[in-house]
Structure 1
Amino acid sequence: MAVKLSQSNLAALPPGVATLRYDRSRLKPGIVHIGVGNFHRAHQAVYLDALFNAGGALDWGIVGAGVRAADADMRARLEAQDWLTTVVEQEAESSQAHVTGAMVDFIAPGDSTRLLDVLADPAIRIVSLTITEGGYYIDPASQKFDPNHPDIVADARDMAAPKTAFGLILAGLMRRRAAGIVPFTVMSCDNIPGNGHVTENAVAGLAALVDPVLADWVRAEVAFPNSMVDRITPATSARERELLTSQFGVEDNWPVFCEGFKQWVLEDDFPLGRPALEQVGVQFVRDVAPFELMKIRILNGGHATIAYPAALLDIHFVHEAMEEPLIRRFLAKVEREEILPIVPPVPDTNLEEYYALIERRFSNPKIGDTITRLCLDGSNRQPKFILPSAADRLAQGRSVTGLALVSALWCRYCYGETDSGKPIAPNDPSWDRLKETARRAKADPRAWLGMTDIFGKLAENPAYAAAFSKALKMLWERGTRETLTRYMADKL
């Protein structure tokens, strides 16, 4: 019989499950983390747990916080097991499970009064975020903070009870400022180019709507270090819960399955101090930008490259897409011919070796990462992961045939059915708009490029528009498989 995960049952866990080597009763909060999803629990929380296991830094416990109504379910499931999480690291040849306990509390979504009290506590020295690429109120075309978004405008009008992550962060900073308490560091852990700068622009941009002097204070006094984070972490489903029970004998309400590989590159800008994460593998550098650009263009761009053709061919798992020779070759051609050549040099890194690592990671058969997850939120991800590479190539007078095909495949996907006619469920916050536009684009590809909030000036480039239009027309005339085949033969 499986052992139900809880603090009192740690000693009863099966011998194949690694558990805590520190006394959780000695943990004290030092970090508030907004957005307690699977990635955070497989990444930042794992690094901290390893540091605690090494015997120190017990004043850096995590207080989770949710800002979405959906976070209430996660909170309830984790509370029932004393905020513990089972993390299962899976590689082709092995699987390892260990229990982490870095989180000491989780403030319910909507409880802004309590969250603001915690944010004002001098013991809190870092506020971190994983709120997804779409949570930063960025205008897709300009990639700049949108101060006119209704959520931001609403918070600016009522800073006593803000609703957004940035409103809550700003309100917490305002309390500390009024009380003469040094501001906490704000640390984004999301896949966004210059995530620290983006976060600063969001907090200071909101502050400017409240009081320009406050905005100046934010920019002058609050640290926003940039970071690059990486670990493939699929969503948890009944499949993962059943695997944990059958293979490891543990019953966990919301386990996290992930790959063995993880990476965290971080700027060392923490005025109030930080945990000694370099002891557990975090790389501290002066400039994260080269690492970040490499990861976003090669890994995240690679995910986008395989996602839509795989979905249109009714492929469910990412490793199954990599087992399809045509998709694997498509990925390699786009990466080697169009993406890698325009990625700037990265310290102590061979880009070809990095791509080979990415290819192996995508092929991991145990992860269970789904194509549907990779296809999620293309309206936010394409402008960050694919379109910048196309724009850079065009600026250098280079071909964008493959990158334009990637975006054409996204358009074809948003039509709402696969090549075999199976319906595709809504998979984007802007799905209705995307689906309607994709249906118009079947006859007129320029309708898709007319979404200038996504494509910006790229849509005005004749070379890009021609490459996109040709790719989309061929997808409709010949289907995904034949289009990829023709691209591979340089006949697109």
Structure 2
Amino acid sequence: MTVQTPQYDRSALTAGIVHIGLGNFHRAHMAVYLDDLFALGEGHDWAIIGAGVRPGDALMRDALRAQDCLSTVIELDPAGKTCRRVGSMIDFLPVEPGNASLIAAMSRAEIRIVSLTVTEGGYFINAATGQFDPAAPEIRADAANPDVPETAFGAIVKALKNRRAAGIAPFTVMCCDNLPGNGHVTHAAVSGLARLSDPELADWIDAHVAFPNAMVDRITPATGPRERAMAASFGLADDPVPVTCEPFRQWVVEDNFPAGRPALEKVGVTFSDQVHAYEMMKIRILNGGHAIIAYPGGLMDIEYVHEAMAHPLISAFLDKVEREEVIPYVPPVPNTDIGAYYDLIRSRFSNPEVADTERRLCLDGSNRQPKFIIPSIRDALAAGQSARGLALESALWCRYCAGTSDAGTPIAPNDPNWAALTTLAQAAKAEPQLWLNQRTIYGDLADHAGFAAEFAGWLNMLWADGTAATLRHYLGQ
């Protein structure tokens, strides 16, 4: 089995990007696009320097530096797997308290883009308001110690301050996480943190730093023994951090890069002033769809996403909720048939080679539900229509957080707030309204009598009859 290797001279690459957050998604997405561009003989001054701000990121640094910062990426096409070594990253900075090496790298003039994948929950958003939360403990700590910050945003603020003092133009800050208006969200975090310690710097950031919005998409499972065995089958048994991913990938970016950018349109990236339309379609239909199939699968002890898609009740549940309560409220998208897009999503979810897990889809609901599900509920209710299926999805999440499957199998912690969610979910068995009273998640939906009644009815049925019977009832079976 052959492995594709970089088709360019890596020793001739120079850095133009610092990327914070070297998880699987980045290495299967942005790093691959740049690898493709470099193979065309273009953009060799846009290589990536990797970085992380969490202690756990040091393990990824050690693994990647041991293999000259090459990433193994295996595409899981049902017609046949392909493997490549992606060479677009040329260094990985030390992971250290105070982030001195990261700040120094971002302060260099040749760095013209700083990009991030720090997860949807990493932007210090108050879910109740949807705004940046200046009271978050990590933000308060960085505001009090701006020269030795611990967060990615604190490091960015310090580097921008250094560049301003040195007369160096600011870099563009590019978010690659699944967030509505991700450029606006990142701007709010960077500017908001700066304003706590240096309002004049915050004004300069607002006036001079670009934060383009982007929509990113590629299903990328977590790495475990199966993925390492797959790498070994290609002769790469010594790589502890291979990445597997579906063949499909998409990247739509607002063309707002005052300091310049690589010519990524030559390798399939779409530059558009309507990123928000693509983004809403993807977040509502794909990410929302993930949540719709995640919790029934988790409660029914189904391990893999493609197995959930093969289950007639879960598949029909997804179809009914998407077609009746999600897709009708997704605005038109340039050059896109939304019905065909949903059919593509179903096909992607059903790919058995990806072997994505239901547990991964269930992860971090307290951050994902407000972004991927709650907006669809609000739109349906605002239109005077039913959100009956989405109320059931929310009840399924609550039931999952109670900590056992329908069969009584313990569910291991699967959310940063798991302990609190489990306590609340167990209390909600007797008083469902307690769950909706999480204002940081549901906001004023807790006060919507019709939605609250639907939610309570479904939750009671889940506890009394189980997931399969409840889905049959919803489907009219």
How far residue 79 of structure 1 moved from its aligned partner, in angstroms, is 1.0
* 1:169 is the counterpart of 2:156: yes
* 1:24 is the counterpart of 2:30: no
Q: For residue 5 of structure 1, what is the aligned residue in structure 2?
A: none
Q: In 1, Cα distance between the equivalents of 2:458 and 2:161?
A: 51
Q: For residue 100 of structure 1, what is the aligned residue in structure 2?
A: 86
Per-residue deviation, residues 238-259 of structure 1 (Å, max 9, x unmatched): 110112212x222222110000
Correspondence list, 1:157-306, <5 A: 157-246=144-233, 248-251=234-237, 252-306=239-293
Q: In 1, Cα distance between the equivalents of 2:141 and 2:334?
A: 43
Tell me which amino acid in the other structure corresponds to 2:18: V
Q: In 1, Cα distance between the equivalents of 2:5 and 2:91?
A: 19
- Given the alignment, which residue of 312, 318, 321 partners 1:325? 312
Per-residue deviation, residues 465-487 of structure 1 (Å, max 9, x unmatched): 11111111110111000000000
Q: For residue 462 of structure 2, what is the aligned residue in structure 1?
A: 475
How far residue 207 of structure 1 moved from its aligned partner, in angstroms, is 1.0
- Given the alignment, which residue of 30, 34, 45 partners 1:59? 45
- Given the alignment, which residue of 366, 382, 387 partners 2:374? 387
Q: In 1, Cα distance between the equivalents of 2:93 and 2:236?
A: 26
Secondary structure at the residue paired with 1:260?
coil
Q: For residue 68 of structure 1, what is the aligned residue in structure 2?
A: 54
Q: In 1, Cα distance between the equivalents of 2:447 and 2:197?
A: 36
Q: For residue 399 of structure 2, what is the aligned residue in structure 1?
A: 412
Secondary structure at the residue paired with 2:466?
helix
* 1:349 is the counterpart of 2:336: yes
Q: In 2, Cα distance between the equivalents of 1:50 and 1:186?
A: 22
How far residue 380 of structure 1 moved from its aligned partner, in angstroms, is 0.2
Tell me which amino acid in the other structure corresponds to 2:72: T
Aligned length: 475
Secondary structure at the residue paired with 1:33?
strand
Q: For residue 7 of structure 1, what is the aligned residue in structure 2?
A: none
- Given the alignment, which residue of 435, 445, 460 partners 1:458? 445
Q: In 2, Cα distance between the equivalents of 1:208 and 1:55?
A: 42
* 1:315 is the counterpart of 2:267: no
Tell me which amino acid in the other structure corresponds to 1:151: E
Tell me which amino acid in the other structure corresponds to 1:18: Q
Tell me which amino acid in the other structure corresponds to 2:129: S
Correspondence list, 1:333-344, <5 A: 333-344=320-331
- Given the alignment, which residue of 54, 70, 79 partners 2:65? 79
How far residue 196 of structure 1 moved from its aligned partner, in angstroms, is 0.1
- Given the alignment, which residue of 3, 15, 27 partners 1:41? 27
Q: In 1, Cα distance between the equivalents of 2:452 and 2:103?
A: 48
Secondary structure at the residue paired with 2:6?
coil
Per-residue deviation, residues 357-387 of structure 1 (Å, max 9, x unmatched): 0000000000011111100000000000001
How far residue 287 of structure 1 moved from its aligned partner, in angstroms, is 2.2
Q: For residue 403 of structure 1, what is the aligned residue in structure 2?
A: 390
* 1:373 is the counterpart of 2:360: yes
- Given the alignment, which residue of 112, 137, 142 partners 1:125? 112
- Given the alignment, which residue of 427, 432, 455 partners 1:440? 427
Q: In 2, Cα distance between the equivalents of 1:23 and 1:465?
A: 60
Which stretch of structure 1 is more off in the superposition, 101-110 or 232-241? 101-110
How far residue 92 of structure 1 moved from its aligned partner, in angstroms, is 1.7
- Specify every segment of 5 or more residues in structure 1 that has no aligned partner in the other structure, as ranges: 1-13
Q: In 2, Cα distance between the equivalents of 1:340 and 1:428?
A: 28
Q: For residue 9 of structure 1, what is the aligned residue in structure 2?
A: none
Per-residue deviation, residues 16-40 of structure 1 (Å, max 9, x unmatched): 2111110110010100000000000
How far residue 110 of structure 1 moved from its aligned partner, in angstroms, is 1.6
How far residue 90 of structure 1 moved from its aligned partner, in angstroms, is 0.7
Per-residue deviation, residues 318-369 of structure 1 (Å, max 9, x unmatched): 1111111110111010000110001011111111100000000000000011
Secondary structure at the residue paired with 1:250?
coil
Q: In 2, Cα distance between the equivalents of 1:113 and 1:359?
A: 45
How far residue 101 of structure 1 moved from its aligned partner, in angstroms, is 0.6
Q: In 2, Cα distance between the equivalents of 1:42 and 1:191?
A: 15
Q: For residue 143 of structure 1, what is the aligned residue in structure 2?
A: 130
